[in-house]
Amino acid sequence: MKILTGNDLKSGAVIWWTGVGWSLDVNDSADVADSGAALIAREEGVQNVFAAYVVDGVKDETGVRPAHIKERIRALGPTVRLDLTLKPSDPQAVNWVI
């Protein structure tokens, strides 16, 4: 699948396109197929996101997992500070990244 990501303008937070809006959780990502460029133009144009781009991902029963480790770290947070990630109470979260 193709998933669309970028950053929130004011907070800089990593966000993912859900099909109708933006979410902090990569598991909410929608498959944008070949509509990424058009979505980026529209969403950046109205300041909903900036520095947006499309990445490869895989969806299975556990959720959406970006294909590249860099995007998985973006999705989770720093692997060396689990307390600052989206899953601070999940000690297995790093395994999802690696």
**Which stretches of the chain bind another protein, using CB under 8 A?**
7, 9-14, 44, 47, 50-51, 67-70, 73-74, 77-81, 84
Tell me the CA distances in angstroms from 68 to 25, 37, 58, 88, 89, one per residue in order.
Answer: 16, 20, 10, 22, 24
Residue 21 or 50 having the CB closest to another protein: 50
Report the nearest approach of another protein to the CB of residue 46 (Å): 8
Report the nearest approach of another protein to the CB of residue 31 (Å): 20
Tell me the CA distances in angstroms from 61 to 30, 37, 65, one per residue in order.
Answer: 15, 28, 11
Residue 81 or 92 having the CB closest to another protein: 81
Give the closest residue to 2 by CA, choosing from 63, 67, 46, 92.
67
Report the nearest approach of another protein to the CB of residue 21 (Å): 19
Tell me the CA distances in angstroms from 29 to 49, 80, 83, one per residue in order.
Answer: 15, 25, 23
Residue 35 or 73 having the CB closest to another protein: 73
Report the nearest approach of another protein to the CB of residue 30 (Å): 22
